[in-house]
Chains A and B, each alone.
Chain A
């Protein structure tokens, strides 16, 4: 009897040991995209792909990626999105309609992470696998999201902060009074913008404090609360990070907010955390003309995000110090692959993509250029 028990115990131990060994092997697989090697669709699946909107060319690049993947796999997809990224209710309606048609899988880029939890629960109940792309959904119901194909937005935000800080740290060190760093976020509801904005702020706080200066965060309540370590009072701080979020995700409103910050004499830098916000900063600069790459000469350092022809031109001629690009093409591409794998019944892993810094010196590089859509 005891031997049987011992053998059973030994076998269970071996089983557990082999299970723990597996993740170790999986971690060594550096390329999460390798999980799709040799993938073939079992049927000609059709997927609804819910994008945030078609407002900017970013989404057109994503759809291009989806098309490429769909052609390779022999599946089809329908991109759907509301008119603008602030039409949250419209998107929720579209999602519910898509779910009612019982698709084999759905791609989702949520305008507002907290508004889609109910719809995601329905997906769990109906057995519809969901792949989120571009932006994740925090607190998604368990089992609803099978994979995330998103940029590590906190990392992308901090990359922007690091490169910006390198250009302005002397100005901060030599400043006589308080200086302001502006951040324009198109909203405070989508997870990717939240992570990016907070990522920038927190990295900037870290860098400023490491050089012995005090910092405070002011402006939009969400980002002020999300900041970590900004313990100075706004009136006394050496550096104030001023965060503005307009009422709607339009370039005009972003531009008005950017103007209010850029026109301040002690503003030394500004960050626009996505294509709409960065273009708003450029529109604000049209009259003020303060942006440039020479901080020592008094230029305000501007950093953008994403690409598009306006931002690319600004990076090219030095109006922007540089920008961080994502890879919307690859995100759309892997979203379709992930959905096909999920529809086949396979386990799918997250496919994180990175944010890349680009400026006039590396824009033409082979590794960067394909991500810079028009």
Chain B
């Protein structure tokens, strides 16, 4: 039986893209202030760390696992980096490397616990979540250098500011890097051994092992990659948060994971796409940033975001059922 060519319209990612466009249109129509360039700048500013976390966590989710430590981990690395800069005079570039290294370290820990020692991912990453939350709390609330202060150059990675004060021009070049990273990781997922084995582990771990794949190694690498992106997210978070505060971060992983599911990762693993994650995160960001502009109070924002997530996962499950019935 020949496979019917999947129409682009039934691709969940396309549907989500339509949702993104629809939400943007609705908010722009309902709120004059939402339509401004500055609003889009702010939305993008705050999207980078969510997006980086989401790109990273796409891989564990494809294997049917999860990484709950990304939120508190991100804050922990940013706190440690900030403390190194403020209290020990370490240059910003070294602090950035430290963030990434710490991310890789915790990612390796997660990977070993899950891939080698076979702990359930939910449990293992919950434990590392608590560890990183506690470790971060050992530091005091620290700001990374501001744009105009010494060492503030790292802000320009995400947003180019030409000129000063009110008349300055600001360009969100971070968005460019995000697009490049997304395209890169999508290529990695679909065209490299690592990516394909990740999907294989998610579809059927035993079959993958039986066909000679070094499942343990690749399973660990999945979490290392996730940790790497969490380290990058920490830099993006520090760039946009005035003072990184200990004790925060719990809950941020839910935005990232939610975005990945909206983007079409199968709830049980075995299928996923970094492009899907990209549009999925924008749904979350639009809701988070846009709902206040149309006057909704905070409680309604959370209710609506939750409902949108349920609908997104339901669509995915219904599609799978239909495909299985064929």
| A→B interface (CB under 8 Å) | 53-57, 60, 82-84, 87, 219-221, 244-248, 250-253, 255-257, 259-260, 263-265, 276, 279, 282-284, 286-289, 308-310, 313
Contact = CB atoms under 8 A, between A and B. Distances in A.
B23 interface: no
A279 B243 contact: yes
Given A282-B242, A288-B38, A260 B293 contact: yes
Contact of A256 (B140, B242, B292): B292
Contact of B248 (A60, A83, A260, A263): A83
A55 B241 contact: no
A55 B242 contact: no
Contacts of B42: 255, 259, 284, 286-288
A308 B243 contact: yes
A56 B248 contact: no
Contact of B39 (A248, A259, A282, A286): A259
By Cβ-Cβ distance, the 6 closest A-B pairs, closest first, are A83-B247, A263-B33, A260-B292, A247-B298, A287-B41, A279-B242
A221 B297 contact: yes
Interface string B237-281: 000111101111011000000000000000000000000000000
Given A286-B45, A287-B45, A287-B170, A54 B292 contact: no
A55 B292 contact: no
8 contacts: A54-B246, A55-B246, A57-B140, A247-B302, A251-B241, A260-B33, A260-B293, A263-B39
Given A260-B292, A309-B143, 15 more contacts: A53-B247, A55-B245, A57-B141, A60-B140, A83-B250, A84-B245, A219-B297, A220-B297, A221-B297, A252-B46, A257-B292, A259-B39, A287-B38, A288-B38, A308-B243
A244 B298 CA distance: 8
B88 interface: no
Contacts of B288: 256
Contact of A56 (B241, B243, B297): B243
Which of A60, A247, A287 has the most chain B CB within a 10 Å cutoff?
A: A287
Nearest to A258: B292
Nearest to B49: A252
Interface residues of B, number: 38
B10 interface: no
Nearest to A60: B140
Contacts of A244: 292, 298
B133 interface: yes
B301 interface: yes
A284 B137 CA distance: 25
Secondary structure dominating the interface of B: helix
Contacts of A264: 33
A257 B168 CA distance: 24
Interface of B: 33-34, 36, 38-39, 41-42, 45-46, 133, 137, 140-141, 143, 146, 165-166, 168, 170, 240-243, 245-248, 250-251, 288-289, 292-293, 297-299, 301-302
Nearest to A290: B166
A308 B38 CA distance: 27
B39 A289 contact: no
Contacts of B133: 83
B292 A251 contact: no
A253 B165 CA distance: 24
B128 to A, nearest CB: 16
Given A83-B250, A282-B242, A289 B165 contact: yes
Contacts of A82: 247
Contacts of A287: 38, 41-42, 45, 170
A245 B298 CA distance: 7
A50 B289 CA distance: 34
A247 to B, nearest CB: 4
B241 A84 contact: no
A265 B250 CA distance: 35
Contacts of A255: 42, 46
A257 B295 CA distance: 10
Contacts of A310: 143, 146, 242-243
Contacts of A251: 241-243, 245
A83 B245 CA distance: 10
A250 B237 CA distance: 13
Which of B248, B288, B289 has the most chain A CB within a 10 Å cutoff?
A: B248
Contacts of A253: 298
A110 B18 CA distance: 46
Contacts of B141: 54-57, 60, 308
Nearest to A264: B33
A262 B42 CA distance: 12
Given A219-B297, A247-B301, A283-B242, A256 B137 contact: no
B299 A247 contact: yes
B41 A259 contact: no
B283 to A, nearest CB: 16
B33 A257 contact: no
A257 B300 CA distance: 13
A54 B142 CA distance: 12
Contacts of B41: 287
A53 B41 CA distance: 32
A260 B292 CA distance: 6
Contacts of B245: 55-56, 84, 250-251, 276
